[in-house]
């Protein structure tokens, strides 16, 4: 087996399966929104009824005598509240999908870069040739050993910690694709992925869980196409192939 071939199966099929799991999670959660919203509203109604009946609501108002009017308004707003809760839940579900998908793809791109480093280490010279080497290292190691260590340091010390976009840029500098068409309808779009990366950052670090609405089916299709696109470029660069035996192994082992 060629260097990196075993890992090629693992990265591609793990990415494929995890995106499939995300699709299942999203579908189940989306189908449960109506039921979940109805349940929340019912619980709110029950709580409101209890607070109204035991006088707690009246005690909270500056004009307790108008509690009936206030309670009536609450009941009339039920439809709008229901709509708002459902909309917020959908946005939070979309935000969750963005975060999960970003994590899957970030790990995937790094995995493909590791495969390139194993199967075609010379392609990393655009990065490693800039690294300084001490005289003691030169005396004790061959070029091949030094280059291998520099790639390892680069991967673990820099690339692994960088953003998804940085990893994708490294991937393209190494593979140098002449064509970025992923299928007849979609191309590799760096700007689209920059927005995706920024959305994940805003959600996680800015606690912005209510601002994003996505067409999940369309986005999932693009994420899967990206996985196939990266696989294709790795195969083209390294000559590695997915084998039926290796594919079956990882599908059963996942």
Query: What pLDDT was estimated at residue 246?
Result: 55
pLDDT of residue 1: 57
Q: What is the pLDDT of residue 216?
A: 96
Give pLDDT, residue 28: 93
Q: Residue 152: enclosing H or E segment and its boundaries?
A: helix 143-157
- pLDDT block averages, 10 residues each, the chain of length 254: 80 94 95 82 81 84 84 77 86 97 97 92 74 46 62 83 96 93 93 97 95 95 96 93 64 51
- Axis crossing angle, helix 78-119 with helix 143-157, rounded to the nearest 10: 170
Q: How many domains does the chain have?
A: 1
Q: What's residue 221's pLDDT?
A: 96
DSSP bridge pairs for 181: 187
Q: Does the reported pTM lie above 0.85?
A: no
What is the model's pLDDT at position 243? 72
Range of the domain at 177: 5-253
């Amino acid at each position: 087996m060629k260097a990196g071939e075993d890992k090629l199966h693992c990265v591609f099929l793990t990415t494929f399966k995890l995106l499939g799991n995300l699709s299942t999670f999203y579908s189940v959660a989306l189908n449960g929104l109506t039921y979940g919203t109805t349940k929340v509203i019912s619980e709110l109604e029950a709580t409101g009824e209890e607070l109204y009946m035991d006088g707690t609501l009246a005690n909270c108002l500056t004009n307790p005598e108008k509690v009936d009017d206030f309670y009536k308004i609450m009941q009339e707003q039920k439809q709008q509240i229901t709509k708002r809760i459902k909309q917020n839940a959908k946005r939070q579900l979309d935000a969750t999908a963005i975060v999960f998908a970003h994590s899957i793809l970030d790990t995937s791109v790094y995995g493909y870069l590791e495969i390139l480093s194993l199967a075609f280490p010379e392609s990393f010279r655009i990065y490693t040739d800039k690294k300084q080497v001490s005289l003691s290292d030169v005396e004790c190691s061959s070029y091949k050993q030094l280059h291998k260590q520099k790639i390892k340091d680069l991967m673990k010390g820099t690339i692994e910690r960088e953003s998804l976009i940085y990893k994708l840029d490294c991937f393209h500098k190494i593979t140098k694709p002449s064509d970025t068409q992923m299928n007849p309808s979609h191309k590799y779009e760096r700007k689209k992925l920059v927005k995706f990366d920024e959305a994940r950052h805003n959600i996680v670090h800015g606690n912005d869980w209510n601002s994003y609405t996505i067409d999940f089916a369309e986005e999932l299709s693009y994420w899967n196409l990206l996985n196939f696109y990266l696989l294709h470029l790795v195969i083209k660069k390294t000559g590695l192939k997915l084998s039926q035996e290796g594919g079956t192994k990882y599908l059963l082992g996942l």
